[in-house]
Each structure stands twice: as C-alpha cells, then as structure tokens.
Structure 1
Amino acid sequence: MSPARALNDAERLDWVRLARTPNIGPVTFFQLIRKFKSAGAALDGLPELTRKSRRGRELVPPDVSDIKHELDRTRKYGAHIIASCEPAYPPLLKALDPPPPVLTALGKLDLAANPTVAIVGARNASAAGRKLARDMASALGGAGYATVSGLALGIDGEAHAASLGTGTIAVLGGAVDHVYPPQHDRLYAEIAAQGLIVSESPFGYRATAKDFPRRNRIITGLSRGGVVVEAAERSGSLISARMGAEQGRDVMAVPGSPLDPRSAGTNHLIRQGATLVRHADDVLEVLESLSFSGVSAPRELFEGSPEHDLPTDLIERIQQALSPHPMPLDEIARAAGATPAQCAAALMELEIAGEAITLPGGLASRAV
C-alpha cells in the first residue's frame, strides 16, 4: 500500500469522480487504482478498458462540473470529503478490505481516531432497553470511548444523546445533509456541533433501503467492538453484528426475555457465540482484552498488480461460476480453474460491463 498523503484539489476531484462512476464499486475502484496508479490515470484509461472488455457497456464518469458542484456544496455546508488514502481518514475504517473510497464528514473527524464502540438496536425499543443504552453509552464515554451508531429511532438515538458530551459519531445512509429520521433533527444538529456525522453517499442524496447495509458496514468498521441492545430476529442490527464479526470486531449482545420479540435477535446472537454483556463494565472488559492488529478481512485476493489480457474463455468461465448469491472469490476462482489474481481482474472487467457485482469482504455475485 502507498504511504498515506493528503490529496491536492485536482487529485481529490479525480478520486471522487472515479468513486461516483456507475458500475464501479469499492473493490473495482481499488483494482483500478492498483492498475493505473492514480484516479486520474484510471479515468483516462476507462474508455480503453471498456473497449477491451468486449462487452459493449461504456463507463461514463460524472461530469467534472458535477463533482466540482458536489465538493463546493459540501464545503459550504461545513463538511468535507476525505479519501481513504489520506492521513486523516479514520484508521479502523481504513483497515477494511476495501474501505469506502470516499467519506463525507461533518464535525470533529478526530473523534474517529479515538477508542470507539458501536451501540445499536431496535427502533421500537422498550423503556428498559432505552435506559440500558443511555447508561451504557454514558459510562463508556466516561471511560474514554466514543459511541458510534446510526441515528435511528430507539436504541441508536438514546446512545447518541447520552454520549454527546464525551463523543458520538452518527453514520448516515443518505448524505450528511439528509436528516433521517426527521424526528431526530435536533439531535442531528447537536451531533453536528459537538460530535461527528459521516456518510459514504454524495451530498444531497436521499437514502433508500439498499443504502443501510453500507451504512451498517461503516458503523462496525469505525468501531473496535459492537453492542446490540435489542433486536428482532430479522433486523438491521443483526446485519451489523454479522458485518462486525466478518471485520474481526468483537460482537456483544444484551440478553433479554424469551417472551419479548425485541430480544429474539440478541438472544440468537448469544447462542451463535456473541459475548453476553449486561452493562458497561462487561463491555469494557471485552474491549480492553482485544487485539486490533488484524481487525479486517484478509487482503491477499486484491494485493499485487491485476492480471492483464485475460483469455476470453477464462473470463467466461469466471462469469459462469458466479451465483446470484455472494460467494468468496477464492471459491469462484477454484470453480473456474483460475488464480485469485486472474479472478479479481476478470471480476473487475465483468463489473465494469454490468455483469458482476464485487462486494466488500472478498465476495462477488452475478448481477441480476
């Protein structure tokens, strides 16, 4: 990996423009950076790359004027866009494979470099769950931990409100200027003034359901460990817990009554191996025992330079090996009789053609 360094204005514009190009996900983004050595060179190389793919779909980056407008609006709002190659980018998030290429930050970005813990849970939380979230966030804040959550109703909001004075980070599915839910407009303003709000989405974007898994990945990616206070059997909090485990974070859950559906998810997590916690002292005991030398998915599938000029039949075998459901790249490579490097390069071409989707954590699926 190249040493971290701040981008100049022209480099930042190129970096954001490449990241906002349709059919270029985070995995393909970093494959292109490795191939062309810079975002600007990757943008220049897209027409030739599209032509060589023989699949007829032209990659069209956003107009330079559109990205300049986004950067200008972001700056006027009081926020700024930071690239994952820059020194100020949150260190735990940078460890992900791959990290979000760009992040928009509003508030105190240095909070993300502090010890952090995620607290998430049900929107329709019980009174007991709400009190537990408040008490836990307050005590963890007093012990030096910033709280990370998703600004949702219920557990998220209680955790944010209780940690305003000690450090809280809200991760949004929409842009940093999109207050969601609207009932949290006052809390949003307080976090913007005292804490940190971050988003992977471009300025002005309004979140849809598909954006919340990406938001949840950032919540856990910013955190040393995560606590689920209450969650139904099918909930976004359980997705966060799964992502946290994949990222090497410690997953903790508060047990609850088997008669309360809001505890079904947390009880299930504990049965699956999550650490049972009752209060902040239990959480601190877990966090203080963690080693953070390897808090990310393995990178070996994406290291090194991408393969060039792959045979057409090999690309077709890799395409045929794809499933509608995400699969690890090493399994795809094995099924196609390819090396991991060949598989990664072919998937870059297939994603550019709109025929594959590469996903964080070394996964890929067929585009449907």
Structure 2
Amino acid sequence: MNEFEGLAAWLRLTLIPGIGGETQRKLLAAFGLPEAVFSAGRLAARSVIGERAELLFDFDPSEAIDRSLAWASQPGQHILTLADSAYPSTLLEIADPPSVLYIRGNAELLRQRGLAMVGSRNATPQGLQTAESFAKALAGKGLSIISGLALGIDAAAHRGALAAGGNTIAVIGTGADRLYPARNKELALAIAEQGAIVSEFPLGTPAIASNFPRRNRIISGLSCGVLVVEAAPESGSLITARLAGEQGREVFAIPGSIHSPVARGCHKLIKQGAKLVETAMDVLEELGTIAEPATATLPVAATEENALLAALGHDPCSLDDLVERSRLSIEYLLTELLTLELAGLVATLPGNRYQRLN
C-alpha cells in the first residue's frame, strides 16, 4: 500500500457525515487502522457503534477524497493522520485529538515548542499593541506563537511573531483552503509562507459558528501554555484557557483596567489561579527555559534592539532625548520601547523617561 492509499482510508473515515471524532476513535480502538475498519464489515462495525455503522458503507466520499489527495500533492500542503510519525505529540496528549490535520505551510512547526495567545476580537488599541509586542518578544526567543487568525488579539499576535522573523501557527475553523475572515487574507498568506495554517475540518468547510469553539482545543493542545491578553468574562478565549488547564498547560493572563470590559475575563482567570503576566520574561521564566532564537532572520531584529538600547545609554533618558539621539519617530519608538519593556530590558519611569535594565 502506498502513502496515498493509506491516507485515502483515513479520509474516507473522516469525511463521512455523522461519523465524528469520538466515533472514529471507537472504531480505531476496536479495529486498528481505517483500512481494518472497512475490511471488518457492517456487522463488526455495528457491534462497536450501532446503527451509525451503516453510514460507513452507504455513503461514498470518493469525490472529496480525490480532491483532498490532489490538494495534499501540492507543495507546502500536507495532511497528517494520527498514525503519522510527524503528527504533533502534544496533540496526542489531549482527550480528543483530531484524526486528520490539514496543513498549509511548514508542518514541522507543529512539533516545536509553542505558546498560544488569544483574546478579544474587539480589542482596544492598547490591547492590540500589547499582544503584538508580547508576540514579537516571545517569538524572538524561539517560541512559536499559536492563535486562531481571528480579528483583534489573534491577528495582532500573528503579526508580532512575523515581525520578529519568528514562527506562528494559525488554527482555523474553516477548511484549510479557505481564508477567513476576509480582512485577514494577506496575514493568512504571510502565515502560510512563514509559518503554518492548520485545520481539522475538510476542505471547503465554510465558516460555521459551532466550529470555532471546537478548534480551541487544538490551539491549546499544540501549546505549552496559553496567554490571554484581553477577554470578556464569557468569551471564547476563556474556553481556550479552560481547555488549556484541563490539558495540563500553563495559563497566563495580562491584567487591565478595572473599568475595561475586555479586562474582566483576564481578571477572572487570575482569580482562578492563572499566572499574572506583566512582561514577556514572566512567561519565559514560568515555562522553565528561555528558548533560543529559531530563525536566521532574528539577528536583524536583535540589531535594531541593540541600537535602541545603545541610544538609551545607562542613565534615565527622556523620550524627547531619545528621539534626538536615534533620529526615529515617536510612534516607532513607543512601539519598540514597549517591546523592550515586555522583554524585561527597559523600564518606564515617571515623567516619560526610560531606563535600560541591562
């Protein structure tokens, strides 16, 4: 049996409507690989899953199988199954790992250490800046940034990782051949080029509301921890955080104003035991190891940081003086200073002054 023949059997099992993940796992536990499921016949299958066994033999997904195999034959597009050695081991640890993963981009990233970053779709400007700066700092230390490609905090986290020249993974709630939301199309294409887009849903699956909470277990499952930046008390981000706790992952939350609706979810998590985070170093120290930069493009970002640190000097420096020394705009400096602060390299002092910490 060649590679695609084995994959075709996995696709046949997962493309039949009414045969969900739990049913698939029952069949695989009873018979082994999908080929054995179909070879066992109706009666044997009925003894395991009851009347739904009829679907296995009455529904023909051949057209969808052929389309999926053709998709996976293209460069940069992959389909991984539970039986593949390249299947991410972190997902094997969760209670309901997807039987099949569709991946655009670098599938190897799914086996690297990653941190999930999630938050509100209706984020504040400060929240967006914080998410992007945290992601930039953490990706710069070698962590893959994992999120859901949604508007708001998710998109900011992906952008920050890309800006650092680091790795990022987008776990989506549609088919891997669909880019949603449309406003993030360019970002999605950049992620497919520099990172990976992952889906458990068959090709062509449109945006269905119930699918987005389902993908959250993969976001947390791929990670060693989840960082919530901004979230309302009943948001999907808190679902991801809850799943992370159930999966034995670390949960982090960034506090905000007591008057902000999108801070209350983070405060709720902190009350429940999530780690309060103020800098990227807080996350790195809690995870136990500080990873090394993962890509060859990171020295460029490091050079820019070193130049800004050199301009700061070792004494407190005002923003106006820093503008004069560096010849950079205030807008650019504020973004970079926040990144350095989150990385634990710079402290903000009263009077709009900054102090280098190393």
- Going from structure 1 to structure 2, the CA distance change for 1:189 and 1:37 (only over 3 Å counts) comes to same
Give the CA deviation at 1:118: 0.5
Matched residue SS, 2:73: helix
Matched residue SS, 1:206: coil
Give the CA deviation at 1:74: 4.1
Listed one character per residue, the Cα deviations across residues 204-230 of structure 1 (whole Å, up to 9, x for unaligned) are: 111211101121111001100010000
Distance in 2, matches of 1:208 and 1:153, equals: 16
Q: Name 1:39's counterpart in structure 2.
A: 34
Q: Name 2:244's counterpart in structure 1.
A: 244
Give the CA deviation at 1:7: 7.3
Give the CA deviation at 1:240: 0.4
**Which sits farther off after the overlay, 89-98 or 186-195?**
89-98
CA contact (8 A) 2:138 2:280 kept: yes
Structure-2-length-normalised TM-score: 0.75
Higher relative contact order (CA 8 A, sep 6+): 1
CA contact (8 A) 1:46 1:59 kept: no
Matched residue SS, 2:226: strand
- 1:223 and 2:218 correspond: no
Q: Name 2:206's counterpart in structure 1.
A: 206
Matched residue SS, 1:201: coil
Give the CA deviation at 1:63: 2.8
Residue of structure 2 aligned with 1:14, choices 2, 9, 26: 9
Residue of structure 2 aligned with 1:63, choices 52, 61, 64: 61
Distance in 2, matches of 1:82 and 1:54, equals: 25
Amino acid in the other structure paired with 2:230: E
Matched residue SS, 2:145: strand
CA contact (8 A) 2:26 2:49 kept: no
Give the CA deviation at 1:55: 6.0
Give the CA deviation at 1:41: 1.5
Distance in 2, matches of 1:67 and 1:285, equals: 45
- 1:103 and 2:101 correspond: yes
Amino acid in the other structure paired with 2:282: D
Higher helix residue share: 2
**Which runs of 5 or more residues in structure 1 are unaligned?**
1-5, 291-368
Give the CA deviation at 1:99: 1.2
- 1:160 and 2:158 correspond: yes
Q: Name 1:194's counterpart in structure 2.
A: 194
Matched residue SS, 2:185: helix
Give the CA deviation at 1:52: 4.7
Distance in 1, matches of 2:24 and 2:49, equals: 20
Matched residue SS, 1:258: coil
CA contact (8 A) 1:231 1:263 kept: yes
Matched residue SS, 2:55: coil
**Which sits farther off after the overlay, 60-69 or 207-216?**
60-69
Listed one character per residue, the Cα deviations across residues 196-252 of structure 1 (whole Å, up to 9, x for unaligned) are: 111001111112111011211110011000100000011110110011111100111
Amino acid in the other structure paired with 1:160: H
Distance in 2, matches of 1:274 and 1:77, equals: 41
CA contact (8 A) 2:253 2:274 kept: yes
Give the CA deviation at 1:25: 2.4
Listed one character per residue, the Cα deviations across residues 13-52 of structure 1 (whole Å, up to 9, x for unaligned) are: 1012112223322232122112112201212335214655
Distance in 2, matches of 1:269 and 1:245, equals: 11
Listed one character per residue, the Cα deviations across residues 60-80 of structure 1 (whole Å, up to 9, x for unaligned) are: 444334312222134348412
Give the CA deviation at 1:97: 2.3
Give the CA deviation at 1:88: 1.1
Q: Name 1:119's counterpart in structure 2.
A: 117
Structure-1-length-normalised TM-score: 0.73
Matched residue SS, 2:188: helix
- Going from structure 1 to structure 2, the CA distance change for 1:142 and 1:204 (only over 3 Å counts) comes to same
Q: How many residues align?
A: 285
Matched residue SS, 1:100: coil
CA contact (8 A) 1:7 1:86 kept: no
Q: Name 1:260's counterpart in structure 2.
A: 260
Distance in 1, matches of 2:156 and 2:49, equals: 53
| Identity within the alignment, % | 43
Give the CA deviation at 1:96: 1.7
**Which sits farther off after the overlay, 65-74 or 176-185?**
65-74
Give the CA deviation at 1:277: 0.7
CA contact (8 A) 1:18 1:39 kept: yes
Listed one character per residue, the Cα deviations across residues 295-336 of structure 1 (whole Å, up to 9, x for unaligned) are: xxxxxxxxxxxxxxxxxxxxxxxxxxxxxxxxxxxxxxxxxx
Distance in 2, matches of 1:76 and 1:64, equals: 19
Q: Name 1:305's counterpart in structure 2.
A: none
Distance in 1, matches of 2:72 and 2:204, equals: 9
- Going from structure 1 to structure 2, the CA distance change for 1:168 and 1:154 (only over 3 Å counts) comes to same
Distance in 1, matches of 2:34 and 2:218, equals: 23
Q: Name 1:171's counterpart in structure 2.
A: 171
Listed one character per residue, the Cα deviations across residues 334-356 of structure 1 (whole Å, up to 9, x for unaligned) are: xxxxxxxxxxxxxxxxxxxxxxx
Q: Name 1:338's counterpart in structure 2.
A: none
Residue of structure 1 aligned with 2:133, choices 132, 135, 139: 135
Matched residue SS, 1:59: helix
Give the CA deviation at 1:106: 0.6
- Going from structure 1 to structure 2, the CA distance change for 1:101 and 1:92 (only over 3 Å counts) comes to same
Distance in 2, matches of 1:56 and 1:178, equals: 33
Residue of structure 1 aligned with 2:85, choices 84, 87, 90: 87
- Going from structure 1 to structure 2, the CA distance change for 1:134 and 1:54 (only over 3 Å counts) comes to closer
**Which runs of 5 or more residues in structure 2 are unaligned?**
291-358
1:282-321 alignment runs, 5 A limit: 282-288=282-288
Distance in 1, matches of 2:44 and 2:274, equals: 45
